[in-house]
Amino acid sequence: MASRRKILVAECEQEISSFNPLPSQYADFTILRGKALFEAHADADTCIRGCLDVLGARQDFELVPVYGASACSAGPLSPGGFDRLSREFLEAIAMATKPDVAAVYLSMHGAMGAVSELDPEGYLLEHVRTCVGPDIPIVVSLDLHGLLTDRMLANCDAIAVYHTYPHNDFTSTGQRAARLLEAILDRGARPVMARVFIPALVRGPELITASGLYGKVIDRAKAMESGGGAMSAAVLIGNPFTDAPELGSQSLVVTDNDPEKAGRLAMELAEAFWADHGKMLADLVPLPEAIADAAGRPGPVTFTDAADAPSSGASGDSNRILADLVRSGYRGRAILPIVDAPAARRAHEAGTGARLRVPLGGTIDPGRFPPLELEVEVERLGDGEYRHEVSRMPAHAGPTAVLRHGNIRIVVVTHPVFMMDRAIFLAHGLDPEQADIIVVKSPGAAVRYFTFACRNYVLDIPGATSANLGSLGHRVCPRPMFPLDDDVVFQPRVQLYPRLGTAA
């Protein structure tokens, strides 16, 4: 029997906000080596799971789990953290690279960032390419909030990108990436990637792909994949909170050795996106107006605090909604999460049933969120170990507490975790359907995971991931850039990236 061709599988994923004042550290990452990587993803909804679904059953391939590093979105990775993480990642790739390695699959995000390296994915891909050589195909999966950089595109063969927002196609994106590898390895496909840079940063309800204008552009990309001659097609909207040299929106089309078609289709997607980009900004509601309106409704309603979304890289310690609910004398039942390690520690020291006066919020970003002193009762304590409803991956929130102030219940966690679904409430004994106001610290998630709510308010409040993009203070990204500048002109240009290697 012929020897099985080995495909290296590795992961390095984090989304950051350059405007979060607290750098993330190596310790914030979950590190998985060897078979632990596949075990963690076996029952999850992830890109690696999708890759396993397609390639794992094939008798002529052997999937080699190499290294996994993933962390909740946060501030840029510290210099020491990136040095250690990148060194471990690349050493693991080097150790696994043998003569019988046929390909590499990397699950990445695209909006990672480090204090010492503004293009971590490009850095890693460049060094992986050096390690495996020009002839070994490298296929990558990315979040549609990722950036595409010249260094990334020059050092991989093909890319599969999420097609949904809010994201519900993690597994299927991994499957699409695996099929790109099959096309190269089985049929000798020679991918050509074409991208068109679009000088626009967008954030708002029109990005919800099931209902918004962005979804119509993505539908065209999906049609290109299913019957239009594209191996892969997408429009990435970048992460407006990651201030980086190639930040922006970008179309990407991959064809099999057809640069003319790749360029033409990428141009079509870019122009379709640009035609509606001005409508893709959030219609934000002032917080006092939202509280007053919600007080007159039977509920439940959701308050989307996209400005302090840990899933987008914010600190999670905003107390702005809590402060205004208290200040306004709101009498309904409200539930909200907050990152506050000192408050969680004090609650655990005091014990269930204790009453104490504690400052809440502003432990990470006090410039935006001055701490709020409140009298609270400790209703419940936990270890912060539960599973996200979205991905079924574990959450490691650290010691947690449910604190009650009147009819307001605050889920206090030690470490930032994704707050996009109901899990953070259900894991702590709170039923969102019994609340009048549910604070959701994630953009776009309320309309998917809290469908029972009668209204959603997207709030205009400060934070490191505010949809009021002009308030953030970009200094590095290309300019002029919509909506940071007026009268931005789109002069589209196709950039082509043919496959470098010669081996089929």
CA distance 334 to 315: 21
Burial 165-195 (b: 16+ CB within 10 A, else e): bbbbbbbbbbbbbbbbbbbbbeeebbbbbbb
Per-residue pLDDT, 367: 94
* Whole-angstrom distance, CA of residue 397 vs CA of residue 395: 6
Q: How far is CA 65 from CA 84, 96, 173, 412, 419, in A?
A: 20, 9, 18, 35, 29
CB 163 within 8 A of CB 221: yes
Q: What pLDDT is stored for residue 423 in this prediction?
A: 95
Structure tokens at 407: 């009819």
pLDDT grade for 364, boundaries at 50, 70 and 90: very high
Confidence of residue 447 (pLDDT cuts 50, 70, 90): confident
**Does the structure show a pLDDT above 60 at 232?**
yes
CA distance 427 to 436: 19
* Mean pLDDT value of segment 58-83: 96
In this prediction, residue 500 has a pLDDT band, given cuts at 50, 70 and 90, of: low
Q: In 3D, which of 163, 13, 133, 145 has the Cα closest to residue 73? A: 13
Closest CA relative to residue 391, chosen from 42, 85, 15: 42
Peptide bond into 371 cis (omega under 30): no
* Sign of the dihedral defined by the CA atoms of residues 13, 19, 24, 30, in that order: negative
- 259-276 and 213-227 helices cross at what angle (nearest 10)? 160
* Greatest Cα pair distance in the chain: 75
As to burial, measured by CB atoms within 10 angstroms (0-12 exposed, 13-18 middle, 19+ buried), residue 276 is middle
What residues does 70 pair with on adjacent strands? 13, 30
Helix axes 170-187, 47-55, angle to 10 degrees: 40
**Alpha carbon 149 to chain centroid distance?**
17
Other Cβ atoms less than 10 A from the Cβ of 350: the count is: 17
**pLDDT for residue 1 is more than 50:** no
Reported as a pLDDT band with limits 50, 70 and 90, residue 4 is confident
Q: pTM (2 decimals)?
A: 0.89
How far, rounded to the nearest angstrom, does the alpha carbon of residue 364 sit from its chain's CA centroid?
A: 20
pLDDT value at 115 more than 90: yes
Q: What proportion of the chain, given as a percentage, has pLDDT over 90?
A: 92
Instruction: Please say whether the beta carbons of 399 and 344 come within 8 A.
Output: yes
Residue type, 91: E
Domains defined along the chain, listed by start: 5-280+493-497 (3.40.50.2300), 287-467 (no CATH)
- Alpha-carbon gap, residue 456 to 446, rounded angstroms: 7
3-state secondary structure of 255: strand
Mean pLDDT score, 197-211: 94
CA distances, 461 to each of 165, 269, 457 (Å): 22, 33, 12
Task: Indicate the pLDDT class of residue 504, thresholds 50, 70 and 90.
Answer: very low
Tokens of 499: 């496959």
Mean pLDDT over each residue of the chain, to the nearest integer: 95
Among 485, 438, 444, CA closest to 282? 444
Peptide linkage before 205 cis (omega within 30 of 0): no
Looking only at the bridges linking them, the beta strands covering 138-142 and 101-108 are parallel
Report the 10 Å Cβ neighbour count for 431.
10
pLDDT at site 405: 98
100: phi then psi, degrees, rounded to nearest 5: -95, 10
What amino acid occupies position 185? Answer: L
Contact predicate 85/12, CB 8 Å: yes
User: Are the C-beta atoms of 300 and 431 separated by less than 8 Å?
Assistant: no
Q: What is the mean pLDDT of residues 422-429?
A: 96
Helix (H, G, I), strand (E, B) or coil at 137: coil
Residue 489, pLDDT above cutoff 60: yes
SS (H, E, C) 451-492: CCCCEEEEECCCCCCCCCHHHCCCCCCCCCCECCCCCCCCCC
**Residue 355 burial by Cβ neighbours in a 10 Å radius (0-12, 13-18, 19+):** exposed
pLDDT over 80 (residue 503): no
Residue with tokens 């039923």: 431
Distance in angstroms (rounded) separating the CA atoms of residues 324 and 438: 14
